[in-house]
Amino acid sequence: MYKEKIDAYFDDPARRQELIRTVSRLVGVKSVKGEATPEAPFGPGPRAALDEALKICDELGFATRDYDHYVGLADLNDKETQLHILGHLDVVPEGMGWDTDPYTCVEKDGMLYGRGVIDDKGPVAAAMLAMKAVRDLGIPLSRNVKLVMGTDEESGSSDIRYYYSKEPYAPQSFTPDANFPLINVEKGHLMCRFEGHWEKETVSPRATGLTGGVRGNVVPPEATVTIVGLKAADAAGLCPAIEARSGAKFTCTDTADGVSIHCAGKNAHAAFPEEGINAICALLELVAALPLADCASTKALKALHELFPFGDTRGKALGIAMADEVSGELTVNLGLMTMEETGFHASIDSRSPVCATEENCAQVAKANLEAHGIEVPVAGMMPSHIVESDSPLVKTLLGCYEAVTGERGAKPLITGGGTYVHNIPGGVAFGCEFPGFDYKMHSANELVPVDHLVKSAKIFALAIAELCK
């Protein structure tokens, strides 16, 4: 009923510019997780982003509330709540390879570039202006929508758990934190941290340190190992073959007592590890081929290489490869690793299908790691999230998507990426990524077409009108 009014509202060039300005203000805050303080539970960056978002919502005329700097809230009206829209303001680290300043929103050829333009600051801005459109157009509502803006989605969503420890769930919820047309099935998550320990060694040649990864849910774009007792020339000859197989690039540099080897890979979202180049795994392959001394550190690195060989993104070597018709294949990303003189710590990000259980997944991974002499302090499962495709929420949202896009026969999707509603009863992911476009999420040069955000705002406005009427 209101589609034409909403279309005309957002087709006004002034609305397009308002949307760009809003996204730019949010992207301009570097909201990577940092050291916690009482006034900034996830560090100063996420706190600053939340402050800016609440300021914008105040300017737009919404009633706002700050939940101890974990979550911010914006209310469209004072009626009984029907709908929560959950977006997040934190971002993953920028990484390498940007053509522009990642924390300056740059508009070029109809695109916005910057960290967060699609994950998830651009979608949050689209939701803000969708709420404003419903109000400006005088669309009658009998119930309220709350925009819930969190600050810890990229590191475990403890912000949302905190919010819902104080407030009830809404009857309906969606997050603009994934794909259109709609996601109603999210894979589960194998959470696994592991480590090794040994006495300080003196033999040579041996590895004395290794670091890799920026965040567990990102395919590591870089990794570096230091080795005593070898020269750059000893490693350089092995590099071309591994580079050809993996796409990684190695740089070997002589040091006072050995060599430093840097590996450059390619970051990607951990839910789609095959789209990246895992620098840790590529580096482990090189290290395993070097003539290192037979000692504890060497054994540990070779064990990790055996369990996480480059290109094995499905957990075959770890013994947990599986798939089902509902949610597809299990994926594994060796995302973080730190090794020092007396041990290492590492973790994987594994997205598991519906068929995965503690018994056939977590316990198997733990047993296989321990069989290689590796300690496993954490190995557990987060279950899958499923909302029936014929639920009123799913049917209404798909109808709004079809009405705005003109697409017919839109079907719900399955994702390996856990979204903000993974633990929200009945919640679904709804936008803002449209099919067929590479937004480079979690990668350098993250981008979004302005038209996609405008179209998303139209869809959200129509959804609010339909769900809260």
Instruction: Tell me the mean pLDDT in the region 340-347.
Output: 97
Confidence category of residue 280, pLDDT binned at 50, 70, 90: very high
Asked if pLDDT for residue 417 goes beyond 80, the answer is: no
Same domain for 374 and 244 = yes
Query: Which residues fall within 8 angstroms of residue 122, CB to CB, at 6 or more apart?
Result: 23, 27, 112, 116, 432, 448, 453
The last residue of one of the domains, among 316, 350, 382, is 382
Burial of 137-171, coded b for 16+ CB within 10 Å and e otherwise, reads eebebebbbbbbbbbbbbbebebbebbbeebeebb
Name the band, by pLDDT with cuts 50, 70 and 90, for residue 283: very high
Provide the residue type at 308 as one letter: F
The type of residue at 333 is N
Q: Phi and psi for 343 in degrees, rounded to 5?
A: 160, 180
SS3 188: strand
Nearest to 348 by CA among 229, 218, 154, 441: 218
What percentage of the chain exceeds 90 in pLDDT? Answer: 91
Whichever domain contains 292, its CATH number is: 3.30.70.360
Q: Are residues 52 and 167 in the same domain?
A: yes
Residue 416, pLDDT score: 78
Tally the domains of the chain.
Answer: 2
215 with 361, same domain: the answer is: yes
- Shared-domain flag, residues 268 and 414: no
Q: Same structural domain for residues 143 and 251?
A: no
| Rounded percentage of the chain residues whose pLDDT exceeds 70 | 100
- pLDDT band at 95; cut points 50, 70, 90: confident
What would the mean pLDDT of 338-346 be, rounded to a whole number? 97
Helix, coil or strand: residue 259? strand
Give the DSSP letter of residue 453: H
Per-residue pLDDT for 418 more than 80? no
Range of the domain at 152: 3-187+385-467
- Residue 32 CA to residue 42 CA, distance in Å, equals 9
Q: Which two tokens stand for residue 266?
A: 């390619």
Q: What pLDDT is attached to residue 217?
A: 86
So what's the pLDDT on residue 419?
87
Q: What are phi and psi of 228, to 5 degrees?
A: -95, 145
Question: 159: alpha, beta or left, given left = phi > 0 and alpha = psi -120 to 50?
Answer: alpha
- Least Cα distance to 289 among 246, 321, 254 occurs for 246
CA atoms 332, 338, 340, 343: torsion sign = negative
Q: Which two three-digit tokens encode residue 249?
A: 């690039």
Identify the residue whose tokens are 């597809």.
328
Average pLDDT over every residue of 201-224: 94
Q: Tell me, what's the pLDDT at 397?
A: 98
Average pLDDT over residues 421-449: 94
CB of 28 within 8 A of CB of 105? yes
What is the pLDDT averaged over residues 115-130? Answer: 98
pLDDT over threshold 90, residue 191:
no
Tens digit of pLDDT for each residue in 373-401?
Answer: 999 999 989 888 999 999 999 999 999 99
* 251 and 178 fall within a common domain: no
Strand partners, 252: 261
Residue 325 confidence class, pLDDT cut points 50, 70, 90: confident
343: Cβ contacts below 8 Å, ≥ 6 apart: 195, 196, 197, 198
Closest CA relative to residue 91, chosen from 147, 40, 43: 43
Is a pLDDT exceeding 90 seen at residue 250?
A: yes
Do residues 210 and 304 both lie within one domain?
yes
Residues 159 and 227 in one domain: no
- Say whether both 346 and 278 belong to one domain: yes
Q: Are residues 348 and 250 in the same domain?
A: yes
The CATH code of the domain that includes 149 is 3.40.630.10
Q: Which of 338, 363, 382 is the last residue of a domain?
A: 382
Q: For residue 101, is pLDDT > 90?
A: yes
Average pLDDT, stretch 94-123? 96
Phi, psi for residue 10 in degrees, rounded to 5: -85, -15
- pLDDT, average across residues 441-468: 96
Confidence of residue 216 (pLDDT cuts 50, 70, 90): confident
369 HSE (CA, 13 A, CB side): 24
Coil, helix or strand at residue 234: helix
Residues 179 and 85 occupy one common structural domain: yes
Chain Cα centroid distance, residue 107 = 23
pLDDT value of position 82:
98
Place of tokens 């949307």: 19
> What does the pLDDT read at residue 59?
98
pLDDT over threshold 80, residue 142: yes
* Residue where one domain finishes, among candidates 359, 382, 405: 382
- In this structure, the answer to whether residues 205 and 130 fall within a common structural domain is no
Omega within 30 of 0 (cis) for the link into 120: yes
**Structure tokens that stand for 448 in this block:** 């979004």
Mean residue pLDDT of the chain comes to: 96
pLDDT at 163: 97
Per-residue pLDDT averaged across 219-236, rounded? Answer: 96
| Per-residue pLDDT reduced to its tens digit, 34-65 | 999 999 999 999 999 999 999 999 999 999 99
Asked if omega into 181 is within 30° of 0 (cis), the reply is: yes
CA distance 366 to 426: 32
What average pLDDT does this structure show over 216-245? 96
Residue 334 scores a pLDDT above 90: yes
Q: What is the mean pLDDT of residues 257-281?
A: 95
Flag whether pLDDT at 156 surpasses 90: no
Length of the chain: 469
DSSP class per residue in 133-166 = HHHHTT---SSEEEEEEES-GGGT-HHHHHHHTT
Phi, psi values for residue 149, rounded to 5°:
-115, 110
Whether pTM exceeds 0.85: no
